[in-house]
Structure 1
């Protein structure tokens, strides 16, 4: 007899999702192989999701809803997947990401860490694992954050990608995350990003001093109708702003920041100099 792992829906959102899958499958009298055939995934994948060893994804959740007939219902797997994903994120951020996916221009400013949209998987994984070690998030939430970031990055690789203007404080490339290989690959990723036809990458050097207008990370999105929304976050919460009276001054400040920052050529030179220390 095959060993059957007992599930604990109270253990974590991922385990609750897996228990939901098993309950639905057994209510239909299906084996894992039956469900795998209906979703076009392997039985090993179904088993891994049921037992919480693998996080659910949006495509898999949608296939489950088709198989079980739960699409657009209060009990849908896509709805549960979104709840799991959002539970690992700061307030306001899921709403921001919805705008990000259709923005025609994305302006970013970050301090201390490489902006998420430019992070390599290894860099992002190292950051997530550090949060787990400090006890600020669970391993399940860490996996969701890394997975969600990969989805955001993939969403920008469309036929007409947005223009991306990125200014990073010099601390972003001086702050060591992971070992030499992680940082070396991350520096190479920045250089490759700067070479794209729809991007501009600049470093705000330490000696900019009081001329730097922002002291927190800032994201500014220009939407297809040319309206601009802003998102900024602290350690504990995020805030999405759509009011022109407060967003437009932030956009002007961003332009001033770009004028004070290093040119892209000088920024890439500085990144390459920093990268030598990782070789």
Structure 2
């Protein structure tokens, strides 16, 4: 049988296929052996290994079960998601990995509601807009919405993280999806603010030059008290773990909180905005 040489550097999909073959051959399995264990055809396994067919979530979970990689950092499901979310900015998939186990989450957003607070309808409107502009493909639009739902679900646990959110006033003034979608989204913010592990503040327009960030900012405190920062521009994202670089950002966030409205005043502004929605 001819054995094609694989080039894992050709693309993320090629790297996936090459690693699949490497793990299979390390166990002296044929493609038929793996196919039987994963409950797929040998033709399908061959096509994935050789890059003729892209991996799917179901296939990735099946081979993870076969190789004993479920829930690990080396899982094929994780590699699949990195391939699928290739349109996401650099550093973001890695940031999400930490987000799901953070003890504290601090967010600052401009223009749109932070993802972790978005309703499915609001998130779908944003994804559909990106689709219409040709930024993403249809399957990526659906994946963005489901990916966000998974991020939100990861925060529902016996000991949920403390979440401190500061939103620029533009987040609640910019109507996304029409009055019905926006009204439900503002109602979701009110529900979020009532939770015992949350603080929600609005940075009003009149904060002026006292606004400490010009771009969205995410800060995570992990269980070992280390802090990770993630920030992004229109074209790129950056994950920062070095303490010397992160601590000034944490200080700036505290200064922003001091300048922002209190939660009570913030909710009054949000409720005022809700009056213009159903």
| TM-score using structure 1 length | 0.76
Deviation at 1:244, TM superposition (A): 1.4
Q: State the alpha-carbon separation in 2 of the partners of residues 197 and 72 from structure 1.
A: 36
Bigger Cα displacement from structure 2, 138-147 vs 110-119: 138-147
Measured at CA, do residues 76 and 224 of structure 1 come closer, stay the same or move farther in structure 2, by a change above 3 Å? Answer: closer
Residue 94, structure 1, aligned to residue 113, structure 2: no
Aligned residue number for residue 121 of structure 2: 122
Q: Secondary structure at the match of 2:90?
A: coil
Aligned residue number for residue 269 of structure 1: 268
Residue 113, structure 1, aligned to residue 115, structure 2: no
Q: State the alpha-carbon separation in 1 of the partners of residues 229 and 82 from structure 2.
A: 24
Measured at CA, do residues 261 and 79 of structure 1 come closer, stay the same or move farther in structure 2, by a change above 3 Å? Answer: closer
Aligned residue number for residue 218 of structure 1: 217
Aligned residue number for residue 5 of structure 1: none
Measured at CA, do residues 56 and 176 of structure 1 come closer, stay the same or move farther in structure 2, by a change above 3 Å? Answer: farther
Q: Which runs of 4+ in 1 moved over 4 A?
A: 27-30, 55-58, 70-73
Q: State the alpha-carbon separation in 1 of the partners of residues 117 and 57 from structure 2.
A: 22
Q: How many residues align?
A: 236
Q: State the alpha-carbon separation in 2 of the partners of residues 275 and 166 from structure 1.
A: 19
Measured at CA, do residues 274 and 229 of structure 1 come closer, stay the same or move farther in structure 2, by a change above 3 Å? Answer: same
- What are structure 1's unaligned runs of at least 5 residues? 1-12, 36-50
Aligned residue number for residue 42 of structure 1: none
Q: State the alpha-carbon separation in 1 of the partners of residues 247 and 35 from structure 2.
A: 55
Q: Secondary structure at the match of 1:87?
A: coil
- What are structure 2's unaligned runs of at least 5 residues? 1-12, 21-30, 41-52
1:39-73 C-alpha deviation (Å, 9 max, x unpaired) = xxxxxxxxxxxx99xx9547x7424543xx35549
